[in-house]
Amino acid sequence: MKTHTEYLTFRTRKKREYINITGQVAQALEHSGIHEGMALVSAMHITAGVWVNDAEDGLIEDINEWLEKLAPFRDDYRHHRTGESNGDAHLKSLLVHHEVIVPITAGKLDFGPWQQIYYAEFDGQRAKRVVIKIMGE
């Protein structure tokens, strides 16, 4: 089995952004030379996440509203007693999770219709990383 690792770095302009990273993951796969296996894509920060879903603007807005309803920004999170103000970002990250695994078949990401990989930033405006680990033959 072979492995290949690449890192993406993001510094978002806003606290919360959703970035389609499918192209970057496909490029990492191409660099790897792996034809059969899997790609692990993982946010390396506890206030960010990665998901697979449709790349449709209305859906992204719906997801954003849903996350805000489930984990709204508030001043009274106990986490804020540490001097932080990002308690909601930690909760949002738990809801979307921090990583995905995508199968690789015949040298391509093996998606269903409309599937894309997104990086979800919930406490941005500073440098954060994503690791892409390609494994297989």
pLDDT in tens, 1-24: 999 999 999 999 999 999 999 999
Distance (Å, rounded) from C-alpha 23 to C-alpha 26?
5
**Cα-based distances in Å from 132 to 37, 40, 91, 111, 135:** 13, 6, 23, 17, 10
pLDDT in tens, 24-56: 999 999 999 999 999 999 999 999 999 999 999
Q: How confident is the model at residue 125 (pLDDT cuts 50, 70, 90)?
A: very high
User: Which domains are seen in the chain, by residue range?
Assistant: 2-136 (2.60.120.460)
**pLDDT confidence of residue 114:** 95
pLDDT tens digit string along 80-116? 999 999 999 999 999 999 999 999 999 999 999 999 9
